[in-house]
Amino acid sequence: MPVNQNIKVAVDAVVFGYDAKQLSVLLIKRGVTPYKDSWALPGGLVQDNESLETAVTRELKEETGVTIDYLEQLYTFGEPLRDPRNRVVSVSYFGLVRPNHFTIQAATDAKEVQWFPITKLPPLAFDHQKILEIAKERLKGKLQYQPIGFDLLNKEFPFSDLENLYTTILEQKIDRRNFRKKILSFEIVEETDKIHQQGSGRPAKLFKFNKKKYNQLLTEGFHFEIKIV
C-alpha cells in the first residue's frame, strides 16, 4: 500500500537555569510567522546532512548564543496539527546550566532571548508549554534517583547550597538529615578545611564534589533516593 508522507523533523531545546535559589528556562521571542512575537523554546528544522544532536546544538547556538556540552533527549512530539504550516515531528532535548556562565544573544529567527523564572512564564507558542511541563517532570524524577546538578554549584560550597538546589527544583521540602547522610555515605561530596561565613549566621564548612568517585559509582550502578518531607 502506497504511503502518503510529507513529514518534517525538528528539534527543540528546554534549557533550565539554576542560580540564586531560582529555577528558570531559556526562551526566545519568535521573529517570524507563525506565532510571531510569541515566546517559544529554542529550536528549528533538522537539515538533511546533520544528526539530531548536531541540529539541536546548532539551533541553540544560533538563536541564543548558548553552547551546552550535553543535552539529554527528552521526548518526541508528533501531533498532526502541532504546527499550522505543515506536519512537523519534534524531538526535544533538555539540559541544566548556570545562566551566569553564558552571554545570551538572539539571532536568526529569534528577535529576543531571555531567562524566565519557571514560576513566571509567558504564554508559549506551538505545544511548547506541554514540552516544558514534561521536561520539568523528567528533571524532578532524575534528580531523585541520580545526584545531578553539582555543576550548578561553586567549586566549594556550604552543604545548604546543595540542599537548596534540590528543594528549588523539586518544589518540595526534603528530609535534610536523610539527604545529608545519604550524600555523604556515597563519598561523592567531600568536606574541606575551609569555612564559609555569611552575615552574622553560624559559620558553615565548605564541601567539594568528588567527580572521580561519582563516575565510579555511575559505572558500578548505585541507588539514590530522596525522602520528601
Active site residues: 112
Residue 74, CB half-sphere, CA atoms under 13 Å: how many? Answer: 28
Q: Would you call 77 exposed, middle or buried from its count of C-beta atoms within 10 A (0-12, 13-18, 19+)?
A: buried
| Angle formed at CA 115 by CA 112 and CA 120, multiple of 5 degrees | 110
The C-alpha cell at 12 is 527543540
Decide: 89 and 10 in contact? Cβ < 8 Å: yes
